[in-house]
Chain A
Amino acid sequence: MSDYNFAYLDEQTKRMIRRALLKALAIPGYQVPFASREMPMPYGWGTGGVQVTAACLTPHDRLKVIDQGADDTTNAVSIRRFFQRTAGVEVTERTAEATVIQTRHRIPEHPLTEGQILVYQVPIPEPLRFLEPRETETRKMHELEEYGLMHVKLYEDIARHGEIATSYAYPVRVEGRYVMDPSPIPKFDNPKLAGNPAIQLFGAGRESRIYALPPYSDVVSLDFEDHPFVASKADHDCDLCGAGSSYLDEVITDDRGSRMFVCSDTDFCNSRQAEGHRGRLSTEAA
C-alpha cells in the first residue's frame, strides 16, 4: 500500500462522484455534470473512467481493466497497476470473476451478471456534438427531446454509403427518453447494452460528465424502418479459438496482404483455447 488515500481520490471527491453516479442511475441516459479532477494521466487515457472506478471500489473488489477488449495493452496495464498501487485491490483478467470492470471501447463477450459494475471510458459524451456544436443548444435539445437531427446523421450515412455506416459510438435511446452515446464501442456490442444485469457507468473526464444505465435498462439503437440496425462484425471466425460469434480484430501479419482475425476480447479467446477450441492459424502445441 502507498501513502495515497484508498483508490487515490480523497473521500470528499469520491462522495461528490457517487452523488453524480446516483443521479445518473436515477435518470438513465442523462448526462450529469461533475467536478472532474486532474488525474495523474493525460485526458483521453481514461480519466473519467478512472474517477468513476475509484469512487466505486471497495477493498473487497476484484478489478478487471480492458482496452479494446484486451487485458494486456498499455492503457489497461497502466490503469490496473494504478489501482493495485493506490487501492491494493485484487485484480483479475477473468470477466466472470471481476466485480468491477473498467473498459475502453468494448463490452466483454462473457455475459455480465447482477452485482458487477462495468465502467466505460468516454471521450465525448454528447451524441449530438458533431451535429450541433453549441452546448446550450444540445442541452435544450435533450430537454425538449428534439432528436430529429440524430436521424439526419443516419440519413446522411445511407445517402452516402448505401447503409448506416456508423460502426462505433452508435447512438441509442434509453428508456424511450434520452439519446445517449454508448462511448466508442463497436455497434456489435450495442445489443448487450439493453437488459444487461450489470450496472453500466460512463465517465467522461475532460468533458466532466457522468451518465449511467441501471440493470435491465431498455436501450434501443436508432435506425430507419427500411434500414434497421444491424450489429455487424467481420465475416470470419477467430483464427486462434475458432469462435464464430465474437467481435474480431483484423491483424496484418506481413506486407503481402496476409491477415488474421482474432477475438478482441483476450480473456474470452484464451479461455476458449484452454477449453481446447482451435482456429485456422492455431499451432497444435498451443
Chain B
Amino acid sequence: MVSALEQSLVTYRDKNAFYIREQYYSYGALQERAQAISSYLNLHNTSRLPVGVIGYDAFETYAAIIGIMLSGAAYVPIHPANPMDRNTSIIEQSELCFVFAPNTSYSFEHLIDISKTKVITVADLSSASFERNHIISPNDIAYILFTSGSTGVPKGVPITHHNLESFIDSFFALGYELNSNDRFLQMFDITFDLSVMSYLVPLLKGACAYTVPFDSVKYMFIYELLENHKLTFTLMVPSILSYLRPYFSEIELPELKYSLFCGEALYADITQEWKRCIPNAKVQNVYGPTEATIFCMTYDCSDVLKENNGMVCIGNPMKNCDILIVDEESKPTNAKGELCLGGPQVTQGYLKNEEKNASSFFMYNEARYYRTGDLAYADKDGEILYAGRKDYQVKVMGGFRVELSEIEHHVRVYTSISGVAAVAVPNAMGISQIFLFVEQLNKEVSEVIDYLKTQMPEYMIPAAIHSLVAFPLNSNGKTDRKELEKMIQHAAK
C-alpha cells in the first residue's frame, strides 16, 4: 500500500491531491512536503516510534500523515479541540517522540505540554529527497486512533499495514468505478477513522480530496463543496442528512456517483428522500467499528430498503471480514445477538490494555473475533440487520429489558420526524428512566405519549419528551447522545 502511494505521488505529479480552504495542492507538492518529513524522521526517529499529527484542516496535516507513513512509523492524530490532559494521555500511551503541527498560523501551546514533547512545524522543514531504506512489514502499525474509554482514559486502537491493506483490498473488491478525475469528500476529523478512507482512496486513484474544517458549520460547508465542485464520491455520517433535510427540495446533484453512509444508524425514510436529490448515485450503507479498520460490511440501498425499526440493513461482510452473531454465553445464535467481527481487518488489540483485550476479543473455531457491542440478526437471505447498541438495551424498573431504538422507531412512525433519540438516565435512586428527544416536535407531547401507549408496554413509555430545534453533534458529526443525557442530568439538579 505504501508503495502504491509512493507510485501515485509520482504518476499524478501535476494533478490535484487536495482542495483545502479554497486552495488546491498537487500530488507533486504533497510529495515534496511528505519527503521533507520522512527524511527528517529517517534521521531523528531511527527506531520508528509513533509520531503525532495535530489535526488542523491544513495541507501540511495531510503531508505529515503521508510523510510519517512513508517513513515507516505510525501516525497518531491529535484533535485540536481536545483538552491538554487528554492529549497528554494519548502522547504518553503511544510514546510519541514528535508531534507535527502544520504551519505558524496554527497554535499548539494550549494542546501539547511542550516541556515534554517536541513539536515540529511541517512548513519549516527544509526540502529533502527520501529513499525508503527498509521494507514495511505487514505487522508494522500504520496509525493509532484513540476512542473514548468507559473509564475516561482514551483507548488506543493500533491498525497495522496488514489491517489497512485488507481494508483497501475489500474496498476495491466492491467494484467502484473510480479514476483520477473523481472528486471525494473528506468531511472527517483525522481522529476519526472514516477520514482514512476519505483521503487514502482518492490518493491511491490519483483523485482529489475536498476537506471540511472541524470548526466549520459542517452541513453547509459540505453542501457547498457538493454543489460548487460537483463531488463524485461521498462518505458521510447520516446526521448530515438530518440537517440538510429541510432543503432537500432545492438539492440536485447529478454528478454524484457514490453516496456512502457510516458511523451511526441510517434511517430508511430519509435515505429514500436523499436518493431523489442524487439521481445518478449508488447509495450504500456501510458499517464497521474502528477496531475492524474503517468499515467491513456494506448494503446497497436499492428501491426497496430492508430495515429494522426504521434503520437500514447493514448487508453483508466485505471480502476480508467474517461475522458471527453470539448470544449472552458467546455461543453463535440464529436469533438477535451481539455482532462479532473476524478476519484480517480486525486490530491485534487495544494498546497496553490487557483487561479490555481479554473482554473484547475471543476465539471461536480457531478464529479470533472482536465484540462490537452492536446488536444484529440475519434475515432469511442472510443479510444482517442492525438492532441498536447493546448499551441502548437498558433495564428499567422491575428489570424489564428495553431496546431504546424500538421506542425511537414508534415515534418516527407517528411523527414522520427522523431526529428522534431515546436515552436512559439513572435517577437519584439509581433507577434508569427513559427520556425522549425529538427534533422540532410537531405534535403535543400528550398525543405522542397516548400513541406510544397503544404500541408499547407501560415500562417503555418515556418519563418526559423534549423538543429541540436540532440535536447536538459530537466531533465526529454524530448525534451526541452523551450531551442529551447531560441535559437530563443537568435539569434534575
Q: Do A and B originate from a single complex?
A: no
